[in-house]
Structure 1
Amino acid sequence: MEGVSMSLEGSRMKEEDSYIANVFQRYPVELVRGKGAYVWDSNGKAYIDFMAGYGVALVGHCNDKVVDAVKRQAERLITCHCSCYNDTRLEFLRRLVSVAPKGLNKVFLCNSGAEACEAAIKIARKYTKRHGIVAAVNSFHGKTMGALSITYASKYREPFKPLLDGVNFVPYSNADRLEELLEQDSRERRSIGAVILEPIQGEGGINVPDDGYLARVRELCNKYDLLLILDEIQSGLGRTGMLWASEHWGVVPDVMCIAKGMAGGVPMGAVLARQEVMDALKVGEHSNTFGGNPLACAAAKATLDCIIEDDLVGNASRMGKYMKDGLLALKDKHKVVRDVRGLGLMLGVELRFDVRDVLMDGLSHGLMMLYSGRNVIRLLPPLVVDEDIASRALSILDRLLTREEERRGVV
């Protein structure tokens, strides 16, 4: 019967492939259920989910508070355009602004991280009246045209050029190079209006900046009268062991983009900004249809309540240390591991080889992980992960690395 079941699962996956656009690197698994830090496939096999929908299952799959909030809201009102007022939206906005970095008290609600970055670009252009923007080498901000313009990887950019002009890339965690560019611009063109950075780079390899870097960037933005935009789409909402990753370095941006897990799995994104910055946009200059819908707002309010009231930020800090210590022990044990880095539950394991085989082997052992570039395993566990689950995951990864070394003849 198992063979028949696997055959049916494979048939459904092939059928889905026949319909859906061929733009995703796909894992050969059909997921049908999730709870906490686990997901189950259509054959009933359980997986420890350290992929978490690319970090979206922030408070765990089917979190009880989120599920209850969605059920209640779905029975009252599902859609309400932002041209009308809504009680659920107001409750969420109050909660969000109450925990936002100081001064970020105006919000634009949208549906994804890429949308948030698109809005941030327009806000920066309108407020500064300058079209130039500085992003970082190995940055990732999305794949829509504006967000793609400030995303570094040529494999994403080249097929769609020309992109937005006025974008400059400088090395990440190198404030001197940024200052050189800004000084040159101030003398010659005065075209740059904003700097956008991920406090910790996700897609680019789980790159943590040197201490003092973000504070120096903040100083440079002040000196040259630029907006500092921080993309906290992956790093925000407690993942790194602080509510906002920028808090590790005491930096407050002018504009902040969030998304991914902010609504517990329901699609949602947001841009937060200082009031005078957001107020540069006038009625009709930027809007959307679904942003701020009551269903997403109910889910997001419940998600924030979970993060704050259940101390998931503290758990991310504690479990992040536990996991990082375990990963560093694996680094000492396995020559195939080149580096371990990250903060909280945003972790990367850099190997000396392509990670694809390790990720695929992980599925057969009941562990789902992500890539971050070709040779970095990215681990984004739900913030509800406990020591037992983390220990199991580390044990599986230990076996996977042993197999990889045997496969490659590493002694």
Structure 2
Amino acid sequence: MSIDLTRETKTEQNQQVSEYINKVLSLIEKKEVNKEEAAWITKETVDGFREHVNPGFLTYRKSVTKDGQFAAVEWSDNGACFKDVNGKEYIDCLGGFGIYNVGHRNPKVVKAVTDQLKRQALHSQDLLDPLRAMLAKILADITPGDLKYAFFTNSGTESVEAALKLAKMYSERTTFISTTRAFHGKSLGSLSGTAKGMFRKPFLPLIPGFRHVPFGDFDMMKKTFEVCAAVGEDVAAVILEPIQGEGGIILPPEGYLKQVRELCDEYGTLLIFDEVQTGMGRTGKMFAADLYDVVPDIICLAKAFGGGVMPAGAIVAREEVFKSWFPNPFMHTTTFGGNPLACAAAIATIGVLIEENLPERAGVVGEYFIKELKEAAQGHEDKVLEIRGQGLMIGIEFHKDEIGYEVSKGMFDRGILVAGTLINSKTIRIEPALTISYEEVDKVISTFKEVLNLVKA
């Protein structure tokens, strides 16, 4: 009897789940939703986060928004903007932390992914898949220097993990040097290179062999190399963000990256550039390595690599380094890395960046953006400490966390999304689509000025 009741209960439960799924799918199918549907979506989203995702996200949203706007639910996007489920439009100056370099739902990227989806979504894992080969060739052509072989991933932290493993296998050394304020991801290997203690402490001990030195301090970097060599712990690789992103948009001192490159050459150490955030045109060049005229041994890509449509990442390495994976290509693999949809998105993304000259545009628009932000901040030196950046990778640092939060809230209330960084909460980041119009830039600047006038020091 109990078994029959259990079966009946399970059948009823499955029927309820099926009805819920059908309702969700019908909403996905709609181009527009009405007020009643928008209210249902909002309630289900908030309840779902509280009961089944993580209520901490609701607490965070409440800390960076005014009144009931913590419950804003994004629903659609296009160009440099997105809309919430109630139809309010926002200029996206967070850009998914640098995902939307070619804009939201770029039509060429969407078309490439849709066309590929009509033929084949995922590959068999055994036969040769053509788009992976073609994308790898394109990367060999556009990346700096003699970077040649590519391995594809799904995210930034996966790219960093692959780079660390490749560096270990190439040299059989186990020491890595990272820097303070660095952010390389949150999986165990990447987290070992990340500098933020709050993220690291709960998971200690991490991967052994990592040392951190102050970003931009070449003398300390050199002394650390010397000490490591003296005690028989030669450095396998130095991993750096050419411009630190989550650290607060920190630019390297003049000549620093070239000095590190020369130091690595002297000690037979690999140089890994984490360009997950700086890559794909954001800084005014296709890669920040080009900006500083430095060729790394391995470059890590993700975020904007998939065109804001597909999760996609990659590492590209010199043949001398990568060939340690030649004898056994299964030494490091990932099921979905380099899948046809992701490769189609990445190929189309690179095409858009080149055809529309977006890296150069990012440099020009970014220069204008920074200049106008600095002018808007004049007279508010008691609130704004510094405005800095390169291309459309801009940081506004305030004297106190509270000021940054109030500015973020005020701008969100007026339809501009910005956000503090993970490492430095006093700094809000501006990383819009590289396609952002001057009219949209001017709206961001005027809103920033308006909010600054209202916020107390």
Aligned length: 405
Letter in structure 2 aligned against 1:68? K
> 2:201 is matched with which residue?
158
If each structure's helix is expressed as a fraction of its own residues, which one has the higher value? 2
**CA deviation profile, 1:197-229 (whole Å, cap 9, x unmatched):** 000000001000011000000000001110000
Match of 2:214 in 1: 171
2:89 aligned with 1:40: no
1:364 aligns with 2:407: no
Match of 2:357 among 303, 306, 311: 311
Check the 8 A contact 1:35/1:62 in 2, yes or no: yes
Match of 2:347 among 301, 309, 314: 301
SS at match of 2:147: coil
Question: Residues 179 and 82 (structure 1 numbering): CA distance in 2 closer, same or farther, change over 3 Å?
Answer: farther
Work out whether residues 82 and 291 of structure 1, in 8 Å CA contact, stay in contact via their aligned partners in 2.
Answer: no
The answer to whether structure 1 residue 240 and structure 2 residue 283 are counterparts is yes
Cα distance per residue 1:102-155 (max 9 Å; x no partner)? 111000101000000001110111111111100000000000011001000000
* Separation of aligned partners in 2, 1:63 and 1:3: 28
Deviation at 1:3, TM superposition (A): 9.1
Which residue matches 2:53?
A: 20
Give the 3-state SS of the residue equivalent to 1:105 in structure 2.
strand
Deviations 1:164-203 (A, max 9, x none): 1110000001111000000111112233211000000000
Equivalent pair of 2:173/2:235 in contact (CA under 8 Å): yes
Partner residue, 2:274:
231
Task: Give the conservation status (yes or no) of the 8 Å contact 2:139–2:316.
Answer: no
User: Is contact 2:152-2:337 (8 Å) kept?
Assistant: yes
1:263, 1:299 within 8 Å by CA — same for their partners in 2? yes
Residue identity in the other structure for 2:285: M
2:367 is the counterpart of 1:321: yes
**Deviation digits for residues 61-81 of structure 1 (CA, Å, limit 9, x no counterpart):** 010101111110000111015
What residue in structure 2 maps to residue 348 of structure 1? 395
Alpha-carbon distance, 1:7 to partner: 5.2
Q: Which residue, 254, 269, 276 being the options, matches 2:320? A: 276
Post-superposition shift, 1:10? Answer: 4.2
The answer for the alignment partner of 2:384 in structure 1 is: 337
User: Is residue 2:165 matched to residue 1:118?
Assistant: no
Cross-structure match for 1:142: 185
Measure, in 1, the Cα distance between the counterparts of 2:413 and 2:386.
Answer: 25
Change (3 A) 1:23 1:227: farther
8 Å contact from structure 1 (residues 235, 245) kept in 2: yes
Shift of 1:358: 1.9
How big is the shift at 1:400?
1.6
Q: TM-score, normalised by structure 2?
A: 0.86
Separation in 2 of the partners of 1:81 and 1:52? 33
2:225, 2:234 within 8 Å by CA — same for their partners in 1?
A: no
Residue aligning to 1:374: 425
Number of the residue aligned with 2:336? 290
What amino acid does structure 2 have at the position aligned with 1:275? E
Whole-Å Cα distance in 2 between the matches of residues 219 and 105 of structure 1?
Answer: 21
Deviates more, 1:244-253 or 1:26-35: 26-35
Distance 2:336 2:353 in 1: 24
What is aligned with 2:250? 207
Identity of aligned residues (%): 37
Query: Which one is further off, 338-347 or 349-358?
Result: 349-358
List alignment gaps of at least 5 residues for structure 1.
Answer: none
How far, CA to CA, are the matches of 1:136 and 1:158 in structure 2? 17
Instruction: Please state whether the residue corresponding to 1:333 is helix, strand or coil.
Output: coil
Secondary structure, aligned partner of 1:279:
helix
1:253-311, CA deviations, whole angstroms, 9 ceiling, x for partnerless residues? 00010000111121011011001211112332100100110001001100000001111
Q: Distance in 1 between matches of 2:250 and 2:56?
A: 26
State the AA in 2 paired with 1:34.
D
Q: Does 1:11 align with 2:43?
A: yes
TM-score, normalised by the number of residues in structure 1: 0.95
Deviation at 1:96, TM superposition (A): 1.9
Structure 2, gaps ≥5 residues long: 1-33, 62-69
In our comparison, the structure showing a higher alpha carbon Rg is 2
CA distance in 1, matches of 2:209, 2:153: 25
